[in-house]
Structure 1
Amino acid sequence: EARDVKLGNSNGREIKVEDGLLEGESIVTNGAFVLKSELLGEQM
C-alpha cells in the first residue's frame, strides 16, 4: 500500500521519517515495482 510520509533530517545515508509510519513497520525504498509485480502474480 502506498502512503504519504513526512520526512525529516538526512545525513546523506539515512532519512528520518517524521510521520506516516508506525514504529517497527517495514518499508520498500528500491525495487517496489518488482515487489508489486510479484505480489500481484501470486494473486492470479
Structure 2
Amino acid sequence: MSEIIIVRHGQAQTGAKDEASYDKLSDLGHQQAAWLGEYWAG
C-alpha cells in the first residue's frame, strides 16, 4: 500500500519589513526543519 506524507512548512517570520525578508523561516522554523530532517534520517 502507498503512503502519503504531508508536511507543513516551519514557522515563518512575522513582521517582515521588506519583500526580501517576507515569507522566510524564523529561527524556530529553521529548527523545526532540522528536527524533521533528523527524524526522517532515523
With normalisation by structure 2, the TM-score equals: 0.38
Structure number with higher strand proportion: 1
With normalisation by structure 1, the TM-score equals: 0.36
RCO comparison, higher one (Cα < 8 Å, 6+): 2
Structure number with higher helix proportion: 2
